[in-house]
Amino acid sequence: MTHRIPSPVPMRDDVRVHPGPALLADLGSGPSLAAHRRLFGELPGLDLATLTDVVKGVGLRGRGGAAFPFAIKLSTAAEGKRRPVVVVNLSEGEPASGKDSALAQTRPHLILDGAVATAVALRARDVYVVLPGDRPLAAQRMTQAMAERSDPVRLHRATADARFVAGQASAVVQLLSGRPNLPATTWVPDAVSGLDGRPTLLSNAETFAHVAAVAALGPGTFARAGTVHEPGTTLLTVAGDGPGGVVVEVPIGEPLAVVMHRCGYDPDMPALVGGYHGTWLPAQEVARRRLSREDLATVGATLGCGAVLPLGATSCPVQLTAQIVEYLAGVNARRCGPCMNGLPELARAVTSLASGGGMPASARITTVTGLVRDRGACAHPDGTVRLVQSLMTAFPTEVAAHERGGCAVG
């Protein structure tokens, strides 16, 4: 396959969506509130203890990248002395991911049900929906859905900038606070002190959709999919930065190779798992791995933003990584040294390797990654380092060929 490394704007709003077993069931019914109520029923009114028990019982974790336990966020926000707020983050930013955008277009009320149920349980009065500035169809559909509803909380809209780092949690709080939509250094979790210093439960759209699904379906039905330790389903975007992008809902624990084959890709090819901040897996690991947090952790990988990028037989992972790193260096927030200086230097080093820069380029990559890692104001530098380091370990033959001034592909 051929990847397109997009410029910061615009990003994709047109990935195909396949029906799924839970969140994406019966897509033919449409996105209206009436259709949603026929499928999922009325919004359940759960108190804090009940909702906490429900999401804790199924081990629900965030689907935005960090995979943080939702029950802990919920309890932390409830313990604050000030009234909390709830924030739905629809600003994916990641060019390879279209799952939240697809969910907004097909299941907007499931997202809103999860956010409103969370707000009611927390006795919050306000839910903020942060719309993607780079995906107009998703933003339009969410706006229409909000206008259809009559909820016991106030729904507010804000639109994120069309940039990679705009969806980072602190950047979202900055946006809602009336400041530039860029990451800011903070040592306090949003659930403790976020918007206006209030406890802020901020999660992405898919996470809130799962909250609504487990509340509507019940833990037993919800847990029929997935594994014993990780019940439920997850949304994936496969090849989302190219013309064949597709969003699928799969049971947690599904073999990665099976999902790639289902989406029309050779299961015997390598893949980048987790998007542009993800981890390269060679073909033999693609064949072994399952789409679960526990299994991917055995090879140092995560689902991250839920993006899977298969590598075509004629594509060079070194050259493709160089393009991605150059893109990531260009969309940094320019708020800390690792972003302003480290990422451009890392991009130059990886580009030099891709161009046949030999051993000096590899040595420079090792030096720069060591200087950048764990020093950024947000996760952007660390995510870029993760990508580059996985290239060096997953493709030793290809890297060695470039160190000799050639290329193992083609």
Query: HSE on the CB side for 150, CA within 13 Å?
Result: 1
My answer on whether 203 and 342 are in the same domain is no
Total domains in the fold of the chain: 2
Mean pLDDT for 91-98 is 90
End-to-end Cα distance, the chain: 14
- Characterise 30 by phi-psi region: left (phi > 0), alpha (psi -120 to 50), beta (else): left
Based on the number of CB atoms within 10 Å of its own CB, is 384 exposed (0-12), middle (13-18) or buried (19 or more)? Answer: buried
d(CA 128, CA 122): 14
My answer on whether 161 and 51 are in the same domain is yes
Domain assignment present for residue 408? The answer is no
The pLDDT tens digits for 262-295 are: 999 999 999 999 999 999 999 999 999 999 999 9
My answer on whether 206 and 341 are in the same domain is no
My answer on whether 205 and 85 are in the same domain is yes
The pLDDT tens digits for 241-258 are: 887 789 999 999 999 999
My answer on whether 69 and 209 are in the same domain is yes
Has residue 103 got a pLDDT over 80? yes
Q: Which pTM does this prediction carry? A: 0.95
Q: How many helices (H) and strands (E) does the chain have?
A: 18, 10
d(CA 363, CA 208): 44
The pLDDT tens digits for 301-323 are: 999 999 999 998 899 999 999 99
Closest to 280 in 3D by CA, of 244, 243, 325, 339: 325
Domain assignment present for residue 269? The answer is no
Domain assignment present for residue 215? The answer is yes
Domain-terminating residue out of 222, 253, 286? 222
Has residue 203 got a pLDDT over 50? yes
Supply the DSSP string of 342-368, one letter for each residue. Answer: IHHHHHHHHHHHHTT--HHHHHHHHHH
My answer on whether 209 and 357 are in the same domain is no
Has residue 47 got a pLDDT over 60? yes
Q: Which amino acid is at 86?
A: V
What is the chain's mean pLDDT, rounded?
93
d(CA 175, CA 225): 37
Q: Please report which confidence band the pLDDT of residue 6 belongs to, taking 50, 70 and 90 as the band edges.
A: very low
Q: Are strands 246-251 and 279-281 parallel, antiparallel or unpaired?
A: unpaired
Domain assignment present for residue 52? The answer is yes
Domain assignment present for residue 242? The answer is no
Residue-number span of the structural domain to which 63 is assigned: 16-222
Domain assignment present for residue 326? The answer is yes
Has residue 4 got a pLDDT over 70? no
Looking at residue 11, its pLDDT comes to 45
Domain assignment present for residue 307? The answer is no
My answer on whether 216 and 321 are in the same domain is no
Domain-terminating residue out of 222, 239, 263? 222
Domain-terminating residue out of 222, 255, 280? 222
Q: What is the CATH number of the domain that holds 384?
A: 1.20.1440.230
The pLDDT tens digits for 384-407 are: 999 999 999 999 999 999 999 999
Preceding peptide of 95 cis, ω within 30°? no
Domain assignment present for residue 54? The answer is yes
Q: Please report which confidence band the pLDDT of residue 138 belongs to, taking 50, 70 and 90 as the band edges.
A: very high
For helices 205-217 and 99-106, angle between their N-to-C axes, nearest 10 degrees: 50
Q: What is the CATH number of the domain that holds 40?
A: 3.40.50.11540
Closest to 209 in 3D by CA, of 69, 95, 63: 63
